[in-house]
Amino acid sequence: MNSPPPTQARITVIGAGPGGLTCARILQQHGIAVTVYDRDPGPEARNQGGSLDLHADNGQIALREAGLLDEFFKLARPEGQEMRKLSLDGEVTFQQLPAADDLFKPEIDRGQLRTLLLDSLQPGTVHWGHGLERVSGPDDGPRQLHFTDGTTVETDLVIGADGAYSRVRPSVSDAIPGYTGISFVEAWFSDVENRHPELSEMVGQGGAMAGDGERGMFAQRNSGDHIRVYLIRQTPADWLGAKGLTAADTDGVRALLLDEYTGWSPRMRRLITDNDGAYIDRPILALPVPHTWDHNPAVALLGDAAHLMPPLGVGVNLAMLDASELALALANAATVDDAVRVYEKTMLPRSIEIAAALEGAAEGLLEAD
């Protein structure tokens, strides 16, 4: 099949995360039709996670192309760029405060960013409740998208923006995410100024971290008077089951974590004991390095579907930069095939370089220095 011009192509994005929505927004800005499918039943189906920083040299570039940078700055928290290093006693041993005019990487809650992007799209762009099962069809297209509800859609380009367990990725790559050996346990704290004022003061307006060489802790201020804490440990992937626990056993998980952090001060251990609600186990996964694939004229990957890396401040930024570059390539190319080639020529070397630099770097979150 001859690759169609982007303006005449059926373009489909799988995944309504920041990357997929950014790609759809920029395509629509250039008059290119696009449809987004997401497995969630609706935009409020689940919590979108904690705060993230959007960098001036990647995430903000994408928002500028999307025409949303000014709206982003209205929502963002520049004060969230503050970083603290804590001792095991909870004392601040290092503090980095942003300058009054520093907008290099202000923080925004993931939910706020998603809403900003969703609200910018044409009505009906996102089709909720459509979990992709598989992709079929000839390599040169058109491709058939098979959804879990039994429906199918034919498309000239499927863009996989569907994260670590991408159902689009297998159509071009056999790679699957592997466990890095590092696990995060997430704990939430709400109404912190009233209910947890000592912890609020200790964490500050941005992020605060501590480590003893074997385990670490990262506390992060979110909007709405919330704090999220991530307990960072090097542990087998099945650590809960090995102890006869499930994530729903809050008291059992708390007792296990307190035992592991026994050398930390009572003040710091309150970031384990005083959380509001259950813990969330988040094993850290990554794709093999390097991860590449043979060019396919009807399939493109972006974000974690293309280059899943440890959570060290690059994931969403790279996903949005990918999305911007792919959308602009489609806006300026004669055919879909040409656009995907142009996009991959930049995206693949960049992602390989960054993934190589971050390989194993999550272990640094355990260090005392």
**Average pLDDT, rounded, for the chain:** 96
Burial label for 338, CB within 10 Å (0-12, 13-18, 19+), is middle
3-state helix, strand and coil shares in percent for the chain, rounded to the nearest 5? 35, 25, 40
336-358 and 315-332 helices, crossing angle to 10°: 160
Query: Residue 292 has what pLDDT?
Result: 97
Query: Residue 45 has what pLDDT?
Result: 78
Minimum mean pLDDT range among 43-47, 72-76, 341-345: 43-47
* Residue 354: pLDDT band with limits 50, 70, 90: very high
Is residue 36 within 8 A of residue 20, CB to CB? The reply is yes
Q: What is the pLDDT of residues 262-298, one digit of tens each?
A: 999 999 999 999 999 899 999 999 999 999 999 999 9
Q: What is the pLDDT of residues 157-203, one digit of tens each?
A: 999 999 999 999 999 999 999 999 999 999 999 999 999 999 999 99
* Residue 366: pLDDT band with limits 50, 70, 90: confident
Evaluate if residue 369 carries a pLDDT over 80: no
CA angle 116, 354, 324 (to 5 degrees): 35
Strands 226-234 and 215-222: antiparallel
Query: Residue 143 has what pLDDT?
Result: 98
Evaluate if residue 217 carries a pLDDT over 80: yes
Sequence-ordered list of residues with C-beta below 8 angstroms from that of 94, at least 6 positions apart, any chain: 83, 84, 85
Q: What is the pLDDT of residues 18-51, one digit of tens each?
A: 999 999 999 999 999 999 999 999 888 777 778 9
Query: Residue 26 has what pLDDT?
Result: 98
Ranges of H-type helices in 48-186 = 59-65, 69-75, 110-120
Burial label for 44, CB within 10 Å (0-12, 13-18, 19+), is exposed
Distance between CA atoms of 32 and 272, rounded to whole angstroms? 49
Query: Residue 44 has what pLDDT?
Result: 82
Distance between CA atoms of 47 and 54, rounded to whole angstroms? 19
- All structural domains of the chain: 6-78+103-176+288-361 (3.50.50.60), 178-285 (3.30.9.30)
Sequence-ordered list of residues with C-beta below 8 angstroms from that of 168, at least 6 positions apart, any chain: 14, 132, 135, 158, 159, 160, 162, 299, 301, 305
Distance between CA atoms of 73 and 78, rounded to whole angstroms? 9
